[in-house]
């Protein structure tokens, strides 16, 4: 009686055949080829969501500053952002760029690089009465928030 055709388990047979192992490897490869691109897409989407969250936190800090300063928004240069806006952000520090993991946000001006959250002031007639906040995702602006004016 042949071990391969017997309906009972042969005492001397151990392990898997080469064909069985190859089939398992092919199945694993197919599953990985489906899962890995989806995983990469989801991590990028999660990072872009974090950029949007950073922009919202910045918006709240900017509005809080204006509330305490008669509706006048902080200037958008690095010194003003660090002195006026950063103390109003969570943990009183710069926000973390989700793509680089460095604490570098917000930046003065429009966001132009991956993961940035930019802050610009709108100053008709020389008074800071509005703002524009932009968030840059993996390859483009993912959010623009304006207020005031």
The 10s digit of each residue's pLDDT in 134-149 is: 999 999 999 999 998 7
| Between residues 71 and 1, the one the model is more confident about | 71
CA distances, 135 to each of 22, 24, 92, 103 (Å) = 47, 44, 20, 15
CA gap 23, 99 in Å, rounded: 38
DSSP structural state of residue 124? G
Judged against a pLDDT cut of 80, whether residue 20 lies above it is answered with yes
Judged against a pLDDT cut of 70, whether residue 8 lies above it is answered with no
Judged against a pLDDT cut of 70, whether residue 2 lies above it is answered with no
pLDDT tens digits, one per residue of 102-129: 999 999 999 999 999 999 999 988 899 9
The predicted pLDDT at position 14 comes to 83
Judged against a pLDDT cut of 80, whether residue 40 lies above it is answered with yes
């Amino acid at each position: 009686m042949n071990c391969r055709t017997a309906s009972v388990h042969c005492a001397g047979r151990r392990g898997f055949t080469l064909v069985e192992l190859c089939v398992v490897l092919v199945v694993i490869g197919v599953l990985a080829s489906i899962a890995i691109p989806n995983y990469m897409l989801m991590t990028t989407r999660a990072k872009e969501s974090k950029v949007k969250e950073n922009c919202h936190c910045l918006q709240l800090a900017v509005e809080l500053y204006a509330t305490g300063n008669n509706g006048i928004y902080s200037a958008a240069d690095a010194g003003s952002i660090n002195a006026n806006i950063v103390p109003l952000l969570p943990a009183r520090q710069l926000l973390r760029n989700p793509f680089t993991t460095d604490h570098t946000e917000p930046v003065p001006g429009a966001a132009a690089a991956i993961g940035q959250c930019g802050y610009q002031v709108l100053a008709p007639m020389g008074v800071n009465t509005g703002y524009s906040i932009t968030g840059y995702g993996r390859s483009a602006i993912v959010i623009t928030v304006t207020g005031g004016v």
